[in-house]
Structure 1
Protein backbone atom coordinates (compact mmCIF):
# COMPACT_ATOMS: atom_id res chain seq x y z
CA UNK A 1 0.00 0.00 0.00
CA UNK A 2 2.73 2.44 0.96
CA UNK A 3 4.66 1.70 -2.24
CA UNK A 4 1.61 2.49 -4.37
CA UNK A 5 1.02 5.69 -2.39
CA UNK A 6 4.57 6.82 -3.10
CA UNK A 7 4.22 5.98 -6.78
CA UNK A 8 0.94 7.89 -7.05
CA UNK A 9 2.44 10.95 -5.35
CA UNK A 10 5.47 10.93 -7.69
CA UNK A 11 3.19 10.41 -10.69
CA UNK A 12 0.95 13.31 -9.69
CA UNK A 13 3.87 15.70 -9.17
CA UNK A 14 5.60 14.71 -12.40
CA UNK A 15 2.36 14.82 -14.42
CA UNK A 16 1.62 18.29 -13.05
CA UNK A 17 5.01 19.71 -14.02
CA UNK A 18 5.19 17.98 -17.41
CA UNK A 19 1.55 18.75 -18.20
CA UNK A 20 2.09 22.41 -17.40
CA UNK A 21 5.35 22.62 -19.35
CA UNK A 22 4.15 20.88 -22.47
CA UNK A 23 0.37 20.58 -22.29
CA UNK A 24 -0.21 24.15 -21.13
CA UNK A 25 2.76 25.57 -23.05
CA UNK A 26 4.70 26.88 -20.04
CA UNK A 27 7.94 25.64 -21.64
CA UNK A 28 7.87 28.53 -24.11
CA UNK A 29 8.67 30.86 -21.18
CA UNK A 30 11.81 29.04 -19.98
CA UNK A 31 14.04 31.60 -21.72
CA UNK A 32 12.41 34.40 -19.73
CA UNK A 33 12.95 32.50 -16.49
CA UNK A 34 16.70 32.35 -16.96
CA UNK A 35 17.14 35.82 -18.47
CA UNK A 36 16.28 37.67 -15.27
CA UNK A 37 12.98 38.88 -16.73
CA UNK A 38 11.07 37.72 -13.64
CA UNK A 39 13.24 39.60 -11.18
CA UNK A 40 11.30 42.36 -9.47
CA UNK A 41 7.95 41.42 -11.02
CA UNK A 42 4.93 41.86 -8.81
CA UNK A 43 2.70 38.88 -8.18
CA UNK A 44 -0.27 41.24 -8.44
CA UNK A 45 0.69 42.02 -12.05
CA UNK A 46 1.77 38.51 -13.00
CA UNK A 47 3.14 38.20 -16.54
CA UNK A 48 2.54 35.05 -18.59
CA UNK A 49 6.16 34.02 -17.93
CA UNK A 50 5.73 34.45 -14.15
CA UNK A 51 2.43 32.57 -14.25
CA UNK A 52 4.10 29.71 -16.13
CA UNK A 53 6.89 29.66 -13.53
CA UNK A 54 4.40 29.44 -10.64
CA UNK A 55 2.50 26.70 -12.46
CA UNK A 56 5.63 24.54 -12.87
CA UNK A 57 8.87 24.97 -10.95
CA UNK A 58 7.50 27.06 -8.12
CA UNK A 59 4.33 25.02 -7.68
CA UNK A 60 4.07 22.32 -5.03
CA UNK A 61 4.48 19.64 -7.72
CA UNK A 62 8.30 19.36 -7.46
CA UNK A 63 7.95 19.04 -3.67
CA UNK A 64 5.33 16.32 -4.17
CA UNK A 65 7.83 14.40 -6.29
CA UNK A 66 10.29 14.60 -3.38
CA UNK A 67 7.60 13.52 -0.89
CA UNK A 68 6.69 10.55 -3.08
CA UNK A 69 10.33 9.56 -3.53
CA UNK A 70 10.83 9.82 0.24
CA UNK A 71 7.81 7.57 0.83
CA UNK A 72 9.30 5.03 -1.60
CA UNK A 73 12.71 5.32 0.08
CA UNK A 74 11.15 4.72 3.50
CA UNK A 75 9.17 1.75 2.21
CA UNK A 76 12.28 0.11 0.73
CA UNK A 77 13.87 0.30 4.17
CA UNK A 78 10.83 -1.12 5.95
CA UNK A 79 9.98 2.21 7.58
CA UNK A 80 6.33 3.22 7.60
CA UNK A 81 5.76 6.90 6.80
CA UNK A 82 4.10 8.78 9.66
CA UNK A 83 0.32 9.22 9.58
CA UNK A 84 0.62 13.00 9.79
CA UNK A 85 1.97 12.96 6.24
CA UNK A 86 -1.20 11.31 4.94
CA UNK A 87 -3.52 13.48 7.02
CA UNK A 88 -1.69 16.66 6.00
CA UNK A 89 -1.82 15.78 2.32
CA UNK A 90 -5.52 14.90 2.54
CA UNK A 91 -6.29 18.18 4.35
CA UNK A 92 -4.29 20.15 1.76
CA UNK A 93 -6.27 18.54 -1.08
CA UNK A 94 -9.63 19.09 0.62
CA UNK A 95 -8.84 22.77 1.28
CA UNK A 96 -7.85 23.13 -2.38
CA UNK A 97 -11.15 21.56 -3.47
CA UNK A 98 -13.11 23.90 -1.17
CA UNK A 99 -11.27 26.96 -2.53
CA UNK A 100 -10.93 26.15 -6.24
CA UNK A 101 -13.43 23.36 -6.81
CA UNK A 102 -12.69 19.77 -7.71
CA UNK A 103 -10.14 19.08 -10.42
CA UNK A 104 -10.55 16.62 -13.24
CA UNK A 105 -9.58 13.54 -11.25
CA UNK A 106 -6.21 14.80 -10.07
CA UNK A 107 -7.50 15.46 -6.56
CA UNK A 108 -8.69 11.87 -6.37
CA UNK A 109 -5.14 10.61 -7.07
CA UNK A 110 -3.73 12.37 -4.01
CA UNK A 111 -6.69 11.40 -1.82
CA UNK A 112 -6.18 7.74 -2.83
CA UNK A 113 -2.47 8.09 -2.05
CA UNK A 114 -3.30 9.56 1.37
CA UNK A 115 -5.70 6.69 2.03
CA UNK A 116 -3.07 4.13 1.04
CA UNK A 117 -0.54 5.80 3.36
CA UNK A 118 -3.03 5.69 6.23
CA UNK A 119 -3.91 2.06 5.54
CA UNK A 120 -0.23 1.15 5.36
CA UNK A 121 0.51 2.98 8.61
CA UNK A 122 -2.39 1.31 10.41
CA UNK A 123 -1.45 -2.13 9.08
CA UNK A 124 2.07 -1.85 10.48
CA UNK A 125 1.33 0.06 13.70
CA UNK A 126 2.00 -1.94 16.86
CA UNK A 127 -1.01 -2.38 19.12
CA UNK A 128 -0.86 -1.13 22.70
CA UNK A 129 -2.25 -3.06 25.62
CA UNK A 130 -5.47 -1.02 25.43
CA UNK A 131 -5.97 -2.04 21.81
CA UNK A 132 -5.11 1.38 20.42
CA UNK A 133 -2.45 2.01 17.81
CA UNK A 134 0.45 4.31 18.46
Structure 2
Protein backbone atom coordinates (compact mmCIF):
# COMPACT_ATOMS: atom_id res chain seq x y z
CA UNK A 1 0.00 0.00 0.00
CA UNK A 2 2.81 2.40 0.86
CA UNK A 3 4.52 1.81 -2.49
CA UNK A 4 1.30 2.41 -4.43
CA UNK A 5 0.63 5.56 -2.40
CA UNK A 6 4.12 6.84 -3.21
CA UNK A 7 3.64 6.22 -6.93
CA UNK A 8 0.22 7.91 -6.90
CA UNK A 9 1.72 10.97 -5.23
CA UNK A 10 4.56 11.11 -7.78
CA UNK A 11 2.06 10.65 -10.62
CA UNK A 12 -0.20 13.42 -9.37
CA UNK A 13 2.65 15.89 -8.85
CA UNK A 14 4.18 15.06 -12.24
CA UNK A 15 0.86 15.21 -14.08
CA UNK A 16 0.01 18.54 -12.47
CA UNK A 17 3.36 20.14 -13.27
CA UNK A 18 3.75 18.75 -16.80
CA UNK A 19 0.08 19.29 -17.59
CA UNK A 20 0.28 22.94 -16.57
CA UNK A 21 3.49 23.46 -18.50
CA UNK A 22 2.61 21.71 -21.73
CA UNK A 23 -1.13 21.00 -21.90
CA UNK A 24 -2.22 24.36 -20.51
CA UNK A 25 0.72 26.13 -22.14
CA UNK A 26 2.36 27.74 -19.11
CA UNK A 27 5.76 27.10 -20.68
CA UNK A 28 5.08 29.81 -23.28
CA UNK A 29 5.74 32.34 -20.49
CA UNK A 30 9.22 31.00 -19.76
CA UNK A 31 10.86 33.98 -21.44
CA UNK A 32 9.19 36.30 -18.91
CA UNK A 33 10.12 34.00 -16.02
CA UNK A 34 13.82 34.05 -16.85
CA UNK A 35 14.04 37.69 -17.88
CA UNK A 36 13.36 39.10 -14.41
CA UNK A 37 9.98 40.46 -15.52
CA UNK A 38 8.27 38.99 -12.45
CA UNK A 39 10.69 40.30 -9.82
CA UNK A 40 8.67 43.36 -8.89
CA UNK A 41 5.24 42.06 -9.68
CA UNK A 42 2.44 42.26 -7.13
CA UNK A 43 1.27 38.77 -6.18
CA UNK A 44 -2.24 40.06 -5.51
CA UNK A 45 -2.54 41.28 -9.10
CA UNK A 46 -0.82 38.57 -11.12
CA UNK A 47 0.06 38.85 -14.77
CA UNK A 48 -0.60 35.84 -17.00
CA UNK A 49 3.12 34.97 -16.82
CA UNK A 50 3.10 35.02 -13.02
CA UNK A 51 -0.10 33.03 -12.84
CA UNK A 52 1.37 30.45 -15.23
CA UNK A 53 4.49 30.20 -13.03
CA UNK A 54 2.42 29.53 -9.89
CA UNK A 55 0.28 27.01 -11.77
CA UNK A 56 3.29 25.03 -12.97
CA UNK A 57 6.85 25.37 -11.69
CA UNK A 58 5.98 27.02 -8.36
CA UNK A 59 2.88 24.91 -7.70
CA UNK A 60 2.52 22.06 -5.24
CA UNK A 61 3.37 19.64 -8.05
CA UNK A 62 7.13 19.60 -7.55
CA UNK A 63 6.93 19.22 -3.72
CA UNK A 64 4.44 16.37 -4.22
CA UNK A 65 6.93 14.62 -6.48
CA UNK A 66 9.50 15.04 -3.71
CA UNK A 67 7.11 13.67 -1.06
CA UNK A 68 6.17 10.70 -3.26
CA UNK A 69 9.79 9.88 -4.07
CA UNK A 70 10.69 10.16 -0.38
CA UNK A 71 7.91 7.73 0.53
CA UNK A 72 9.14 5.33 -2.18
CA UNK A 73 12.76 5.72 -1.05
CA UNK A 74 11.86 5.04 2.58
CA UNK A 75 9.70 2.06 1.66
CA UNK A 76 12.46 0.63 -0.55
CA UNK A 77 14.86 0.74 2.40
CA UNK A 78 12.47 -0.88 4.83
CA UNK A 79 11.59 2.33 6.64
CA UNK A 80 7.96 3.08 7.37
CA UNK A 81 7.12 6.70 6.52
CA UNK A 82 5.90 8.76 9.47
CA UNK A 83 2.13 8.95 9.83
CA UNK A 84 2.16 12.75 9.88
CA UNK A 85 2.95 12.75 6.15
CA UNK A 86 -0.25 10.84 5.43
CA UNK A 87 -2.42 12.84 7.82
CA UNK A 88 -1.21 16.23 6.57
CA UNK A 89 -1.66 15.06 2.99
CA UNK A 90 -5.22 14.00 3.80
CA UNK A 91 -6.07 17.24 5.63
CA UNK A 92 -4.70 19.31 2.75
CA UNK A 93 -6.67 17.22 0.27
CA UNK A 94 -9.93 17.77 2.16
CA UNK A 95 -9.35 21.53 2.15
CA UNK A 96 -8.56 21.37 -1.58
CA UNK A 97 -11.71 19.33 -2.24
CA UNK A 98 -13.88 21.88 -0.43
CA UNK A 99 -12.35 24.80 -2.31
CA UNK A 100 -12.02 23.22 -5.77
CA UNK A 101 -14.56 20.45 -6.15
CA UNK A 102 -13.82 19.63 -9.78
CA UNK A 103 -10.11 18.81 -9.64
CA UNK A 104 -8.37 15.43 -9.50
CA UNK A 105 -8.03 15.57 -5.70
CA UNK A 106 -9.51 12.05 -5.34
CA UNK A 107 -6.15 10.68 -6.55
CA UNK A 108 -4.34 12.29 -3.62
CA UNK A 109 -7.17 11.29 -1.28
CA UNK A 110 -6.68 7.68 -2.36
CA UNK A 111 -2.91 7.99 -1.94
CA UNK A 112 -3.35 9.43 1.56
CA UNK A 113 -5.73 6.67 2.59
CA UNK A 114 -3.41 3.99 1.21
CA UNK A 115 -0.50 5.60 3.02
CA UNK A 116 -2.38 5.66 6.36
CA UNK A 117 -3.44 2.03 5.92
CA UNK A 118 0.05 0.96 4.87
CA UNK A 119 1.66 2.71 7.81
CA UNK A 120 -0.83 1.16 10.23
CA UNK A 121 -0.26 -2.27 8.73
CA UNK A 122 3.51 -1.82 9.03
CA UNK A 123 3.17 -0.75 12.67
CA UNK A 124 1.14 -3.86 13.48
CA UNK A 125 3.50 -6.20 11.63
CA UNK A 126 6.58 -4.81 13.36
CA UNK A 127 9.74 -3.35 11.86
CA UNK A 128 10.17 -3.76 8.15
CA UNK A 129 13.19 -5.68 6.97
CA UNK A 130 15.60 -4.01 4.63
CA UNK A 131 17.15 -5.67 1.62
CA UNK A 132 19.77 -2.93 1.33
CA UNK A 133 23.32 -3.51 2.48
CA UNK A 134 24.33 -1.53 5.58
CA UNK A 135 26.06 1.72 4.83
CA UNK A 136 23.94 2.61 1.82
For the pair 1:111 / 2:109, whether they are aligned, the reply is yes
Question: Hey, what's the Cα distance between the residues in 2 that align with 1:96 and 1:126?
Answer: 31
Query: Partner of 1:36 in structure 2?
Result: 36
2:43 aligned counterpart, secondary structure? coil
2:53 aligned counterpart, secondary structure? helix
Query: Partner of 1:76 in structure 2?
Result: 76
Query: Partner of 2:59 in structure 1?
Result: 59
Cα deviation, residue 124, structure 1: 1.0
Structure 1 segment 97-108 matched on structure 2, within 5 A: 97-103=97-103, 106-108=104-106
- For structure 2, which runs of at least 5 residues remain unmatched after alignment? 126-136
Moved over 4 A (4+): none
Question: Hey, what's the Cα distance between the residues in 1 that align with 2:37 and 2:82?
Answer: 41
Tell me how many residue pairs correspond in the alignment. 125
Question: Hey, what's the Cα distance between the residues in 2 that align with 1:108 and 1:61?
Answer: 15
- What do the CA deviations read for 1:48-71 (whole angstroms, capped 9, x no partner)? 000000001111110000000000
Query: Partner of 1:7 in structure 2?
Result: 7
Q: TM-score, normalised by structure 2?
A: 0.88
Q: TM-score, normalised by structure 1?
A: 0.89
